[in-house]
Amino acid sequence: MVERRSILKPDGTIVPGSKPRMDEEFLLEALRLMMLSRAYDERVIGLQRQGRFGVYSPGLGQEASIVGSAMSLDPSRDWIVPQYRELMAVVRQGYPLELITATYMGKTTPDTRIPEGVNVLPTQVALAAQLPQATGLAWGLKLQGKDAVVMAYIGEGGSSEGDFHEALNLAGVQRAPIVFFMQNNQWAISTPRRMQSAVPSFSLRAAGYGFPGVEVDGNDVLAVYDVAVEAVERARAGEGPSLIEAVTYRMGFHNTTDNPSRYLDPAEFEEAKQRDPIQRVIKYLTAIGLWDDERQKTADQEVAAEIERVVEAAQAQRGVRPEMLFDHVYERPPERVERQRAEFLKSVNGH
């Protein structure tokens, strides 16, 4: 049996004998990001239903995994390679939420690209396709002698893809400074975990590639942070990759095209709600005197104001113009492309 690491129990008490690395100030920041994540999900799902936002994958129920892992990194030197459900991880890394929001609104212009100095690769929707690039990035950083670590995200469903195994194998051989962070949310779209793999713990797969794996309670932000810090420190010390399996539960749909009521067991969902990662932190902070109703009210108001600012800023971004079709294709566009561009503009402008 694999031991599942945990520190903060669902009732908000600490597992006896545990001493979390995350201090109280850092935990308050983690809670703020988790609350921002959930409130943002709610707001933009509403926008999507109005036809004002693109297809979106919420992090509902997985906030501790996303935030706890991201907070183990140093944004000034470390990299994140996301899949599509790690919004607050890339925000914590420095990618402005208003720019991310603008791209979901279809404003994919030079103004909304990932800013210089923000160590994040683009979101990847094709399952596991980002992992070979993540391993290559980590290997390249090692060859350059950079003191940097890559955190690459994947779901348990993506571990059935060949790219997953190829990336882990190469990372193990090259001792690349990378942490593979798997969010096991029990669902690969509508396929349950039991139909994905016979392995009792996905973390066991790491041994086949020559590096350690660990299973952690993905709804426990303190435990997620602890195991992530250990893996990051290991990678930074030149000891190679790690695989973290964060066992959590997707408390919403796969994305806004999905209808989980067709396959989700309501009893299972209700049981998962009892392990809510945000309520777990609030219970703990309340017990130690760092949270109360007034602080909750203030936090809710601050999060709501931040989301309003973000949405307004995203809406103010300029939209895509037809001539952008020709931009950033060539460093020096050939004459035929320039001619096509001129003809296109003439047809659009009518002269």
With CA atoms as reference, report the closest residue to 10 among 202, 295, 317, 223: 223
Helix (H) or strand (E) holding 244: strand 242-247
Q: Which one from 234, 254, 275, 280 is the annotated catalytic residue?
A: 254
Q: Is 330 a catalytic residue?
A: no
Q: Is 263 a catalytic residue?
A: yes
Q: Which one from 49, 77, 113, 263 is the annotated catalytic residue?
A: 263
Q: Is 254 a catalytic residue?
A: yes
Q: Which one from 5, 43, 250, 280 is the annotated catalytic residue?
A: 250
Residues taking part in catalysis: 250, 254, 263
